Chain A
Amino acid sequence: MCKVWKFSKHNDRCALQDEFGNEISYKTLNSETRSLFDALGRRCLLFSFCRNEIGSVIGYTAFLNHGIVPVLLNSHIDRQMAHDLIRTYKPDYLWIPEDQVEQFPGMEMVYSAWHYALLKTVDENAYRLNEDLALLLTTSGSTGSPKFVRQSYENVLDNASAIAQYLALDEMERPITTLPMNYTYGLSIINSHLLVGATVLLTDKGLMQKEFWHFFKEAGATSFGGVPYTYEMLDKLRFYRMKLPALRTMTQAGGKILPELHEKFARYAEEQGKKFVVMYGQCEATARMGYLPPEKALEKKGSMGIAIPGGKFHLIGTGGTEVLAPYKTGELVYEGKNVTLGYAECGEDLAKGDERHGILETGDLAQFDEDGYYYIVGRKKRFLKIYGNRVNLDEIERLIKGAFETEVASTGIDDHMYIFVTDGSLEWQIREFIVEKTKLNPAAFKVLTIQEIPKNDAGKTLYKELVQRYEG
């Protein structure tokens, strides 16, 4: 009946608690999800506009447990992008915070609960949904690309169980949200903790807000997750001096943390009797693929660890042969039941079945040491992680070319993107445009003028030549 979580197993435990003092038990969560499903009545496609709020989680768990296929989007998504995505995928319903209902005039509100509204769109069963398809996520990016990752029920359940196993989660855990729930890492924290009957502490406030820390301390948070930038901020906040006796575990994913920070937090954890767990994952593998056991956190600084329970890593070198010796670079390939079905780029793709058969070429270049611990050393694909969000460089170029009359080439390193344009008068406008589209802090983007984009004879951009221009 329920496809992912058995809420009735934990009836009287508290499932969700928010910063405003609201709490709901697993029993209530169970009944809330059933009422919402009754309003929907059948399997269909739905867009869910997420915030770290009780209503948003009730919606998400209702949809997964009862076979409704949600597309999870950030509630702050650019309105134009939201409308474009709706036109592309034609969902039957929207699940949206009540204060955003007026953004979709003409849609009827057919149900509401916990400040969220169920809106009926004009579409009805527009596309066939593959029976294994559980949910659709954007690839951590926010450029409004219609490309979604297709995750199955087995993917979600298998990955949540593996996470619960290697982190030894139990019902006493109280993780606090630090990441959006539509982001695969944030979602995996919710998925795994609801599986073991723990209490998820929900807040949309950030690390730089007093309300966040007040809630953290009052509610006795036992764990949180962070992307590399989160740990840079915690470092600047002099986190090590805070009194957080309930805190037991800090996890890190969403990109490679600086080795110095890895060491600082691992040392802090060791001294304070807490755990610091560096992890590795991608939306294409549901969330998690690797983790560094906390007792190895200091010894294996810079490593993302070993494969999660039930998974396997290997490296494929140039020429397609497997890398068998330590300290040799190859593309990291992962095998496991959490490897997702594939991508969707249009409505018809929702009918597609499993295209990966449990094997994922991660696009990351890695090495392992003599003990079999893996280290990420580079990337095959053209994307950057900006504050933990994957931003595709070709997509950025496409967006700019679509809106401005200029040649463009973008490159950079994580958290710093360099956009080269040939029309210098557009520098400022283009930066504003990219900030508007990505909703990321402008500090990450530099627009530079160049007379000509360097290209080879075949017309391919020579990105290496551009690198010299901002490194020099």
Chain B
Amino acid sequence: MSNLEKYNAAFVEAFEIREDQLAGLKYQDITAWDSVGHMTLIASLEEAFDIMMDTDDIIDFNSYEKGKEILSKEEYGVDF
């Protein structure tokens, strides 16, 4: 599975949505992406990419696009 596929799968699984709903998706846009859902998403991304995210990055992660940007940072090294 490519990194993008893994990234998308984490969202689809955590929020029970379709892949075509991901573009532009932001925190609190849907009921499932609240603080509870956020924790689920972060946990599954950490597992999928075998990383430990910093607190600042966890709370900065407020959209589908922003998340890609964060994971692309040097310390996580996920290429999309």
Contacts and interface: CB of A to CB of B under 8 A. Distances in A.
A377 interface: no
CB-based closest 7 A-B pairs: A441-B36, A208-B35, A208-B38, A210-B59, A206-B35, A237-B55, A238-B55
Nearest to B46: A236
B16 interface: yes
A207 B40 contact: no
A439 B55 CA distance: 27
Interface residues of A, number: 24
Given A236-B39, A236-B42, A442-B16, A208 B59 contact: yes
A435 interface: yes
Given A208-B35, A208-B58, 5 more contacts: A206-B34, A208-B59, A442-B32, A443-B32, A443-B40
A234 to B, nearest CB: 10
Contacts of A460: none
Interface in B29-57: 31-32, 34-40, 42-43, 55-56
A209 B37 contact: no
**Interface SS of A by simple majority:** helix
A241 B55 contact: yes
Interface in A418-472: 435-436, 439, 441-444
Contacts of B56: 210
A389 to B, nearest CB: 12
Interface of B: 16, 27, 31-32, 34-40, 42-43, 55-56, 58-60, 62
Given A209-B59, A210-B62, A443 B31 contact: no
A435 B59 contact: no
Nearest to B59: A210
- Which of B36, B39, B58: most chain A CB closer than 10 A? B36
Contact of A236 (B27, B43, B60): B43
A439 B31 contact: yes
A268 interface: no
Contacts of A435: 31
A387 interface: yes
Given A209-B59, A210-B60, A441 B37 contact: yes
A233, A237, A387, A439, most chain B CB atoms within 10 A: A237
A444 B35 CA distance: 13
Nearest to B16: A442
A300 to B, nearest CB: 28
Contact of A233 (B16, B32, B39, B62): B39
18 contacts: A206-B35, A207-B35, A208-B39, A209-B62, A210-B56, A210-B62, A233-B35, A233-B36, A236-B39, A236-B42, A237-B58, A237-B59, A435-B31, A436-B31, A441-B34, A442-B31, A443-B32, A444-B36
